[in-house]
Amino acid sequence: MDGVASDRKPSDRERMVVAAGRLIRDGERVFVGTYWPIPAALFAKRSHTPRSVLLFEGGLVCSALPPRIPLIASDPTLLAASELAGDVFDTLGALLHGGRADVGMLSAHSVDRYGNINTTCIGPYESPNVRLAGSGGACDFGSLAPRLILMMEHDPRRFPHRIDFITTPGHLGGGETRLQAGLPPRRGPDQVVTTLGLFGFDPESREMVLEGVYPGVTVEEVRREIQWSLRVSPYLVEIPEPTEEELRILREEVDPYGMFLRDRRISSTP
Amino acid sequence: MDGVASDRKPSDRERMVVAAGRLIRDGERVFVGTYWPIPAALFAKRSHTPRSVLLFEGGLVCSALPPRIPLIASDPTLLAASELAGDVFDTLGALLHGGRADVGMLSAHSVDRYGNINTTCIGPYESPNVRLAGSGGACDFGSLAPRLILMMEHDPRRFPHRIDFITTPGHLGGGETRLQAGLPPRRGPDQVVTTLGLFGFDPESREMVLEGVYPGVTVEEVRREIQWSLRVSPYLVEIPEPTEEELRILREEVDPYGMFLRDRRISSTP
Amino acid sequence: MPPSFSDKDKRMTMEEAVSRFVRDGDVLYLGGFLHGEPYAAAHEIIRQGKRDLTLSTAAGTLLVDQLIGAGCVRRLITSYCWNPIPAPTHAFRRAVERGIPHPLELEEYSLLGLSLAYFAGALNLPFVATKTMLGSSYLEKQGFLGDRKLRVMDSPFGDGPVCLIAPLRHDVGIVQLQRSDPRGNGQAWGLLGPTKYGLQCCDRVIVCAEEIVEEDKIRTDPNRTLIPGFRCCAVVEEPWGAHPSYIQGYYDRDWRFAAEYERETRTEGGFKQFLKKWILKTKNRKEYLKLLGKDRLTALRGGRRVSSSVSYGLYEGFGEP
Amino acid sequence: MPPSFSDKDKRMTMEEAVSRFVRDGDVLYLGGFLHGEPYAAAHEIIRQGKRDLTLSTAAGTLLVDQLIGAGCVRRLITSYCWNPIPAPTHAFRRAVERGIPHPLELEEYSLLGLSLAYFAGALNLPFVATKTMLGSSYLEKQGFLGDRKLRVMDSPFGDGPVCLIAPLRHDVGIVQLQRSDPRGNGQAWGLLGPTKYGLQCCDRVIVCAEEIVEEDKIRTDPNRTLIPGFRCCAVVEEPWGAHPSYIQGYYDRDWRFAAEYERETRTEGGFKQFLKKWILKTKNRKEYLKLLGKDRLTALRGGRRVSSSVSYGLYEGFGEP
């Protein structure tokens, strides 16, 4: 457990996880997608949302803390924290489609200016240049979650002019187009938290708007990572750095093995 | 346990239960409706269908024998005989609507010449002269069971010219009308077992046809109990009396307390 | 969006739960399917004189009969209403046949049809398509739900006529089950009927349990949990709360009670006497049980038949192999 | 109507089960949702060189990747295919991007959409209506199911556009779960995903279990049974049959294996070597486990965390009170 001391400077990923976690409010029922939402939701629960309930697509409802950090949304460690273990209809069905959850958190591969997510393919669907994972529950989160938070590491290819496949509907063509498609009202992505900053969506046009950057990050830097001409909020803020206590929680309690934050999950000897 | 000796003559009800039980074949998966089907299915299981599986609408699958005779299809004694306890979708859903059962058995209040069953009301639905129970799973049995056996005690009012409410669809107006209504093909009532005899349905017109009578019962006697002009099969048979062994099984093993056969279930001290 | 109640101890008396969470005019769902009928809660609803309820339940028995006879119910959604011995439920009949104590509007389905309507409501699906009920009179006799209940259409996938079932929604639901923690993580076993889906249609859920146990005990076996605690607004510890229905593993159905009820309630006067004796003159479940008598309760306890325990495992760290 | 297998002891080896019940060209359902993936069965399918399968599974991982890379699969129905570490499943990518070892036809849904398609198939419902997937590319990109998959229509109940999902049907299904009796009454606990409904869509069901137990033990806790024994055609006792996936209470996911697999199978040659080493050169699961080594298995066993037992009661006679 080297390097957990909280005096080490926060990494971009730590900033992202803390910033996303801060968006969760206490008592909320949170659909936790796989990958980045896992440390973010657990960070929130250990810092300021002790009463949040974590929901997992495969059928788990957890309001306790698992014995270790789950590596995926279907990790066996979660059963010790679950008050309900059921099937997809218990969570994605009755809680998400049924409208009984508050917020969903998703890792996204790439996103367009209206928050539409592609995790399916680059190039034509029938003969793609790069084939990606597909939806899992992501399309359901995007279709149905009352509030939706996306998490992404920056890379210009992840913010393209247009995406080749809408795996997870965002605000579609902007404006009222999402409603016109028949999706439930007052939904769609609300925030995108990245390794550079935080984005919201314009309430009218539904276009992504840069709303905050981490200390030291410039708007120009963000623009370079995004293929379309990015709108910036007139109220752009600097996102406060993780506090010492936040970093301590994240490093010592949430992910002491560095499974997410130091990529230990993908080394051969975790 | 008075009067269980098998030398006592079989009652009409005992004849009905044995005759209905004989229609079940070994290994069949039998949806057991409440009331008369319970002793009939258990009689079959104890006499000649040891491998039949009893299915109950509320979610039970039983291939063992319950410790006592269940008084209804949701009796707690059944759990000791169940290999699966689930919900309505496990049985009425996946097995009945899903097409994985063989036969359904139902007690019916009244039936018309096409085997349509009324257990809802006598007189207009909105202001009935007599209000009855309604469907429970009966309508589902009638809509979906690949083979359907009805059980009824005789009374002319139970075999009227026309019924006031189709609780459970039989062959509707006869002929192809059932198919035209959209119900699955090759289904609908196959036999009606009563306290006087056994009825089938004409393969073309789908009208009820008397096919068998118990020893000593005349066709005229049956006709008196039925309001429409009853068709009688040219191959009318005499239904063999319950054997000594069948009676012994029924009286000593299936219903030793006389809960069904001697109405002990409706006395105040069962 | 209903509020989250996830972290609170929601235990209260039945009197408080009914008074706070069941409102005149509500669509009230009663859980259970002959198994686990919430009698204690229904009796408290009668005592508090709730009115104009739309009752929704998979199968009505004495419980629904009593609520109707006591004048609490204006509308009934069900697949069935009868005394399981079997015999008529007389108050139900008086209401439907003669409008006593007042007229009753009906909305009926087959059991599978109603269960699918609950499923659609639980998931908030626009509708579900089925082959059951085609050809039956249920298609013609739509009641107060009007054209928000069933429709027949030709399947666009080429299966001929199909019946579309619209979702049902409930304001409040009550379930009586084996055990719950103080937050309302209720666990049930035995025959489950369509109770899970019926409850999931509810904005508020009152969990009545034979026993309240620690949250940790619930977590030893989370597959038994019917509905998560945050969906629950009140938890009532109410042993014998389902009598004369049964709770698997706790007590048997009181068949004798059902037969007596049938005889005693054949007349309106008889029903009123029953109501007075068993419900209005008993202040709560404790007094009802006292009236019933210890011997009768003892006779209803069955033997014990214990489940084999299983391990869910404990996965704590990321050790080297 | 498929035959009833209710009363037979259906235990056999994996070799026999796969050889008798999985046929070239079948629509094959694989149970599990990251939990309980039937690896032992999939490996035997590869060994026996089954061809032209249409694979249906809630979420593809290494398991689906191996079947594709080995050339068994022509069509895939799923919501997802990836290595959960997360990283690409390279054989899947090679098949989709470059037609290696041969082209793969896809039919994709969201997880909830696919679960509803299984539900519709399980109950043989004509279709189910939902709001999920509206606006997504899933509506446009319908594959080999063509217009037998999804449709958008205006809801006759006035909810605007809705997505209709047609039922899925499977020839044969395989599940790996905790325990079963010899007749195939299989019991599962932990996270259940959509496995029950996926299995119920199958004409034939192969139950692979960590342990075979007496029928009486199953009857002590019938609420854990996923699907009745008479729906099952073969029962295989196969401990560790889900490795490198996990079985709740039996063993943890082998994360290291998934990371190694990712690195080793980046090239076609690497994949072939993996295939040879772990699947083709091992005759059965026993040899696979031997290759894996005892120490590795031991490291994956978690601690024990035992469920509190409950009573289902025993109701024997009709005694006087």
What are the pLDDT digits (tens) for C91-149?
Answer: 999 999 999 999 999 999 999 999 999 999 999 999 999 999 999 999 999 899 999 99
| All partners of chain D with 3 or more CB pairs under 8 angstroms | A, B, C
Report the residue from D4, D315, D318 with minimal CB separation from B28: D4
Distance from CA of A237 to the nearest CA of C (A): 30
Residue of chain D nearest A71, judged by CA positions: D85
DSSP category for residue A184: P
Backbone φ and ψ for A130, nearest 5 degrees, come out as -130, 125
Residue of chain B nearest D118, judged by CA positions: B94
Q: For residue A7, what pLDDT is reported?
A: 65
Residue A270, pLDDT > 70, answer no
Q: How distant, in Å, are the alpha carbons of B19, B119, B253, C13 from that of B152?
A: 12, 12, 23, 47
* Contact criterion met (CB < 8 Å) for C223 and A86: yes
* Contact criterion met (CB < 8 Å) for A98 and C315: no
For the annotated catalytic residues of B, the residue numbers are 57
Amino acid at D28: L
Report the residue from A71, A76, A181 with minimal CB separation from D161: A181
User: For the segment A86-127, what is each residue's pLDDT rounded down to a tens digit?
Assistant: 999 999 999 999 999 999 999 999 999 999 999 999 999 999
Residue of chain B nearest D122, judged by CA positions: B94
* Contact criterion met (CB < 8 Å) for A257 and C318: yes
Distance from CA of D32 to the nearest CA of A (A): 10
Residue C321's pLDDT band, with cuts at 50, 70 and 90, is very low
Query: Is the CATH code 3.30.70.330 the one for domain C14-52+168-300?
Result: no
| Cα distance between residue D196 and residue A21, in whole Å | 34
* Contact criterion met (CB < 8 Å) for B83 and D225: yes
Burial of C142 (0-12, 13-18, 19+ CB in 10 A): middle
What residue ranges in chain B does DSSP mark as E strands?
A: 29-32, 53-56, 60-62, 82-85, 103-107, 110-111, 117-118, 121-122, 130-131, 148-152, 189-194, 197-201, 208-213, 231-238
pTM comes to 0.97
Q: What is the pLDDT along chain D (321 residues), one digit of tens a residue?
A: 444 455 789 999 999 999 999 999 999 999 999 999 999 999 999 999 999 999 999 999 999 999 999 999 999 999 999 999 999 999 999 999 999 999 999 999 999 999 999 999 999 999 999 999 999 999 999 899 999 999 999 999 998 999 999 999 999 999 999 999 999 999 999 999 999 999 999 999 999 999 999 999 999 999 999 999 999 999 999 999 999 999 999 999 999 999 999 999 999 999 999 999 999 999 999 999 999 999 999 999 999 999 999 999 999 988 653
User: For the segment A197-227, what is each residue's pLDDT rounded down to a tens digit?
Assistant: 999 999 999 999 999 999 999 999 999 999 9
Kindly give, in sequence order, each residue whose CB lies less than 8 Å from that of residue D49, ignoring residues fewer than 6 positions away.
D72
User: For the segment B139-187, what is each residue's pLDDT rounded down to a tens digit?
Assistant: 999 999 999 999 999 999 999 999 999 999 999 999 999 999 999 999 9
* Contact criterion met (CB < 8 Å) for D126 and C126: no
* Contact criterion met (CB < 8 Å) for C190 and D316: no
For the annotated catalytic residues of A, the residue numbers are 57
Tokens of D58: 């809630």
Residue B8's pLDDT band, with cuts at 50, 70 and 90, is confident
Q: For residue B2, what pLDDT is reported?
A: 45
* Contact criterion met (CB < 8 Å) for C134 and B169: yes
Q: For residue A2, what pLDDT is reported?
A: 45
Residue of chain A nearest D131, judged by CA positions: A183
Q: What is the ipTM of this complex?
A: 0.97
Residue of chain D nearest A167, judged by CA positions: D136
* Contact criterion met (CB < 8 Å) for B93 and C112: yes
Residue B71's pLDDT band, with cuts at 50, 70 and 90, is very high
A46-61 average pLDDT score: 97
Burial of C311 (0-12, 13-18, 19+ CB in 10 A): middle
Residue of chain B nearest C249, judged by CA positions: B76
Residue C319, pLDDT > 80, answer no
Distance from CA of D216 to the nearest CA of B (A): 9
Q: How distant, in Å, are the alpha carbons of B187, C226, D103, D166, D227 from that of D88?
A: 49, 37, 18, 30, 33
Distance from CA of B220 to the nearest CA of C (A): 31
Report the residue from A60, A83, A97 with minimal CB separation from C124: A97
| All partners of chain C with 3 or more CB pairs under 8 angstroms | A, B, D
| Cα distance between residue C68 and residue C56, in whole Å | 12
Q: For residue D318, what pLDDT is reported?
A: 84
Residue A243's pLDDT band, with cuts at 50, 70 and 90, is very high
Q: Which of C91, C69, C83 is nearest to C257 (CA)?
A: C83
Backbone φ and ψ for A247, nearest 5 degrees, come out as -65, -40
Residue of chain B nearest C81, judged by CA positions: B133
Tokens of D212: 């075979």
CA atoms in the 13 A half-sphere facing the CB of B62:
30
* Contact criterion met (CB < 8 Å) for C222 and A85: yes
| All partners of chain B with 3 or more CB pairs under 8 angstroms | C, D
Distance from CA of D188 to the nearest CA of A (A): 11
Q: How distant, in Å, are the alpha carbons of A62, D68, D288 from that of D48?
A: 42, 14, 16
DSSP category for residue A144: H
Asked if C135 and B189 touch (Cβ cutoff 8 Å), the reply is no
Report the residue from C303, C312, C319 with minimal CB separation from D313: C303
Q: For residue D3, what pLDDT is reported?
A: 44
Q: How distant, in Å, are the alpha carbons of B191, C252, D27, D120, D230 from that of D201?
A: 30, 36, 11, 9, 14
Q: Which of D26, D39, D119 is nearest to D72 (CA)?
A: D26
Contacts of D81 in chain A (CB under 8 A): 133-134
All domains in chain B, ordered by first residue:
1-100+241-270 (3.40.1080.10), 108-239 (3.40.1080.10)
Q: For residue D7, what pLDDT is reported?
A: 72
Distance from CA of C156 to the nearest CA of B (A): 14
| Cα distance between residue C282 and residue C243, in whole Å | 15
3-class secondary structure per residue, chain D: CCCCCCCCCCECCHHHHHHHHCCCCCEEEECCECECCCHHHHHHHHHCCCCCEEEECCCECHHHHHHHHCCCEEEEEECEECECCCECCHHHHHHHHHCCCCCCEEEECCHHHHHHHHHHHHHCCCCEEECCCCCCHHHCCCCCCHHHCEEEEECCCCCCEEEEECCCCEEEEEEEEEEECCCCCEECCCCCECHHHHHHCEEEEEEEEEEECCHHHHHCCHHHEEECHHHCCEEEECCCCCCCCEECCCECCCHHHHHHHHHHCCCHHHHHHHHHHHHHCCCCHHHHHHHHCHHHHHHHCCECCECCCCECCECCCCCCC
* Contact criterion met (CB < 8 Å) for B28 and D223: no
Q: How distant, in Å, are the alpha carbons of B21, B269, C20, D242 from that of D91?
A: 57, 71, 59, 20
Contacts of C296 in chain D (CB under 8 A): 321
| Cα distance between residue D241 and residue D175, in whole Å | 10
Tally C–D CB contacts below 8 A: 180
* Contact criterion met (CB < 8 Å) for C138 and B75: no
* Contact criterion met (CB < 8 Å) for B268 and C256: yes
Report the residue from C166, C249, C315 with minimal CB separation from D302: C315
| Cα distance between residue C182 and residue C6, in whole Å | 10
Contacts of C118 in chain D (CB under 8 A): none
Distance from CA of A50 to the nearest CA of C (A): 9
Residue of chain D nearest B94, judged by CA positions: D123
Residue A269, pLDDT > 50, answer no
* Contact criterion met (CB < 8 Å) for C219 and A81: yes
Report the residue from C1, C316, C321 with minimal CB separation from A68: C316
Report the residue from C35, C160, C197 with minimal CB separation from B182: C160
| All partners of chain A with 3 or more CB pairs under 8 angstroms | C, D
Task: Specify the DSSP element, H or E, that contains C66.
Answer: helix C62-69
**What's the start-to-end Cα distance of chain A, in Å?**
12
Tokens of B2: 């008075």
**Interface probe with C: pick from B82, B95, B143, B269, most Cβ of C within 10 Å:** B143
Report the residue from D87, D111, D137 with minimal CB separation from A92: D111
**Interface probe with B: pick from D118, D185, D187, D230, most Cβ of B within 10 Å:** D230
Mean pLDDT of chain B: 95
Residue A5's pLDDT band, with cuts at 50, 70 and 90, is low
Give the distance, in angstroms, between the CA of residue D7 and the centroid of all CA atoms in the same chain.
25
Q: What residue spans in chain C does CATH classification 3.40.1080.10 cover?
A: 14-52+168-300
* Contact criterion met (CB < 8 Å) for D124 and B83: no
SS3 A118: strand
Residue C1, pLDDT > 80, answer no
